[in-house]
Structure 1
Amino acid sequence: MTIGGMTGFGRAEGALGAWSWAVEARSVNGRNLEVRFRGPPGFEGLERAAREGAQSRFLRGQVTIGVQAKRSDSAGAVKVNIEQLEHYLKAGGPYVATGMVAVPTLDGLLSLKGVIETADAIDDPDAQAAVEAAMATSIGLALDGLAAGRAEEGRSLEGVLNALVARIGDLTGNASALAEGQPVIIKARFEKRLTELAGEAASEERILQEAAAMAVKADVQEELDRLRGHVEAARGLLTTDGGVGRKLDFLTQEFMREANTLCSKSASGALTAVGLDLKATIEQFREQVQNVE
């Protein structure tokens, strides 16, 4: 099992009768699934096929699907739509009569939409439906290619993320070892300060009481325990098949919350340095998680 990425590309080509086409499907990161489609006019059913195909394969990401189709110019008998041509002439007649526009030329009239048609496009709707179905199949193949690309990215991400989680675990262990010396550091620091202020009036009993209270406030055991728990949760998610990007993103926030608290409670430069290293590693983890589906 492996996690999935959100970046990839797929392409498929096809041909049927007078038609040939190419389908390209690509995706980038996105918080939710967003499908965009561009296709040839006259094939309205393709957009639905593209959206349903993407929704059945992906959970997140901005997916763009484009179909470029071409029809052979020699296919089918050419027919002039006289009714459409006369409609254009009638509509433009008053403008020609007043001199507002020039008299239309034959090539100009023939280039108007709907004037030139091919017999098979007019008389064979079944052929049109067959071409559309074949194009829809190519869309599915392009989306399969895109899914394969996203899976490959996921395999690459898995190694990177596992290494970062291991690093977070190691730093948590380092922080735990350093945290054991917190009470001694706090006691020595408070004793020195109190002696400077009170001199011989500073009793050992008071120093111990105040230092103990300060050590309780500076205790980071809960933060370390939660960090360890988050490390195990991350490892579990990275072995889960399917969309875990949102869960990993939430877990990253929890990682950073504990690291910030650890730094704020630190009583030594060494523990602070480990905390800062921990925060930097968590930030690297967060950046990579943005690519996970």
Structure 2
Amino acid sequence: MVASMTGFGRASGQIDSCLLTVEMKSVNHRFLDVSLKMPKQFMSSEDKIKKLISQSVSRGRIEIYVNLEGESLVDKSIHVDWELLEQFVNSLHQIKERFSLKDEVTLNQILGLSQGIDILEESISSENVENKLLLIVEAAIKQLVEMRKIEGDQLAVDLKQRLEDISILTVELEKLAPSVVEQYRERIEKRLAEYVSGKVDENRILTEVALFAEKADISEELTRIHSHNHQFSETLKASGPIGRKLDFLVQELNREANTIGSKANNGDIAKNVVELKSIIEKLKEQVQNIE
């Protein structure tokens, strides 16, 4: 089955008094690349989330956003460094006496010592919280994968039409190929007749035509195009990631089309080759979206 690398998934659920929402989107990428943005209290679950992704997705850049609404899943507490504050207050009194200052030591001055009073946050980590998080992530992944499959089905329809167009053009080129040699023979005979007053050396013509036929023969390239087309069609039916194989086949199709174009010595063949290369280019663009 064809799966696109483009998709979106979203799921949400309650964790204690908080609403947790997981959104993920995927775009084209040569490999699997997962980017996570989430509250720091969930960072310990990062590897497990990435593992869940890799079990369902093989290629693409996946951006995951975890948003928490409501009371934060952390315990907060105040920590006072009494020893440091005592040194600070003593130092202020010493400065006051040393310079004969009249100002009193105030609470604001003490609180201004940021190193002395800290607010500590400790994550409420529990297996239950992590399990709920992972369940929500799994639901978002399921939606993402489903969307990638739906888009993949649409891509498959388009690709099959392109393959049919390539097959039609290849058959047309097969019909045109023999006429190229015959047209060349007629041109050779005409030119030789002009130079030798109508007396033509048949052996020389046969030699010239044979050399040209060998250089202009495109039968092997056309056979390989049929073969690549068939492999492409069969690969579309395969399970698992197929994008890289399809990309290789497109490169081979393009190689054969270029070779035919370089051999072409006929306007009709050249016209068909231009159309063939245009279809292959569209095929290539679509293949870039396939997992």
Instruction: Identify the residue that residue 129 of structure 1 maps to in structure 2.
Output: 127
Instruction: Identify the residue that residue 68 of structure 1 maps to in structure 2.
Output: 67
Query: How far 1:167 sits from its partner (Å)?
Result: 0.5
Instruction: Identify the residue that residue 203 of structure 1 maps to in structure 2.
Output: 201
**Is it true that 1:8 corresponds to 2:12 in the alignment?**
no
Q: Name which of 255, 259, 262 aligns with 2:260.
A: 262
Query: How far 1:132 sits from its partner (Å)?
Result: 2.2
Q: Tell me the TM-score normalised to structure 1 length.
A: 0.84
Determine helix, strand or coil for the equivalent of 1:181.
Answer: helix
The separation in 1 between residues aligned to 2:87 and 2:11, in whole angstroms, is: 44
Query: How far 1:19 sits from its partner (Å)?
Result: 2.6
- For residues 181-208 of structure 1, the C-alpha deviation after alignment (integer angstroms, 9 at most, x for no partner) is 1210121222333444555564222112
Letter in 2 for 1:279: K
Map of 1:33-112 to 2, 5 A cutoff?
A: 33-72=32-71, 80-83=77-80, 86=82, 104=108
Letter in 2 for 1:211: V
Query: How far 1:80 sits from its partner (Å)?
Result: 4.3
The separation in 1 between residues aligned to 2:19 and 2:112, in whole angstroms, is: 28
The separation in 1 between residues aligned to 2:117 and 2:9, in whole angstroms, is: 33
The separation in 2 between residues aligned to 1:190 and 1:283, in whole angstroms, is: 37
Q: 1:176 to 1:133 in 2, by over 3 A?
A: same
Instruction: Identify the residue that residue 177 of structure 1 maps to in structure 2.
Output: 175
The separation in 2 between residues aligned to 1:113 and 1:189, in whole angstroms, is: 98
The separation in 2 between residues aligned to 1:172 and 1:189, in whole angstroms, is: 26
Is the CA contact 1:45–1:132 (under 8 Å) kept in the aligned structure 2? no
- For residues 222-257 of structure 1, the C-alpha deviation after alignment (integer angstroms, 9 at most, x for no partner) is 011101111111110111122110000000010011
Letter in 1 for 2:280: I
- For residues 60-103 of structure 1, the C-alpha deviation after alignment (integer angstroms, 9 at most, x for no partner) is 10011111113427x99x864233x658857987998989xx97
Is the CA contact 2:181–2:213 (under 8 Å) kept in the aligned structure 1? yes
Is the CA contact 2:79–2:120 (under 8 Å) kept in the aligned structure 1? no
Which runs of 5 or more residues in structure 1 are unaligned? Answer: none
Q: Name which of 221, 229, 232 aligns with 1:231.
A: 229
Is the CA contact 2:85–2:110 (under 8 Å) kept in the aligned structure 1? no
Determine helix, strand or coil for the equivalent of 1:30.
Answer: coil
The separation in 1 between residues aligned to 2:87 and 2:184, in whole angstroms, is: 93
Q: 1:42 to 1:113 in 2, by over 3 A?
A: farther
Letter in 1 for 2:79: I
Which runs of 5 or more residues in structure 2 are unaligned? Answer: 97-105
Is the CA contact 2:39–2:68 (under 8 Å) kept in the aligned structure 1? yes
Letter in 1 for 2:191: R
The separation in 1 between residues aligned to 2:282 and 2:160, in whole angstroms, is: 12
Between Structure 1 and Structure 2, how many residues are aligned? 280
Q: Name which of 149, 155, 158 aligns with 1:157.
A: 155
Is the CA contact 1:27–1:61 (under 8 Å) kept in the aligned structure 2? yes
Letter in 1 for 2:10: R
Q: 1:267 to 1:90 in 2, by over 3 A?
A: farther
Instruction: Identify the residue that residue 27 of structure 2 maps to in structure 1.
Output: 28
Query: How far 1:105 sits from its partner (Å)?
Result: 7.7
RMSD of the TM alignment (CA)?
Answer: 3.2
Query: How far 1:106 sits from its partner (Å)?
Result: 9.5
The separation in 1 between residues aligned to 2:254 and 2:177, in whole angstroms, is: 18
**Is it true that 1:272 corresponds to 2:270 in the alignment?**
yes
Letter in 2 for 1:82: H
Instruction: Identify the residue that residue 289 of structure 1 maps to in structure 2.
Output: 287
Query: How far 1:27 sits from its partner (Å)?
Result: 0.3
Q: Name which of 184, 187, 194 aligns with 2:185.
A: 187
Is the CA contact 2:89–2:110 (under 8 Å) kept in the aligned structure 1? no
Deviant stretches of 4+, over 6 Å: 90-99, 105-110
Is the CA contact 2:79–2:118 (under 8 Å) kept in the aligned structure 1? no
Is the CA contact 2:5–2:59 (under 8 Å) kept in the aligned structure 1? yes
The separation in 1 between residues aligned to 2:83 and 2:212, in whole angstroms, is: 92
Determine helix, strand or coil for the equivalent of 2:3.
Answer: coil
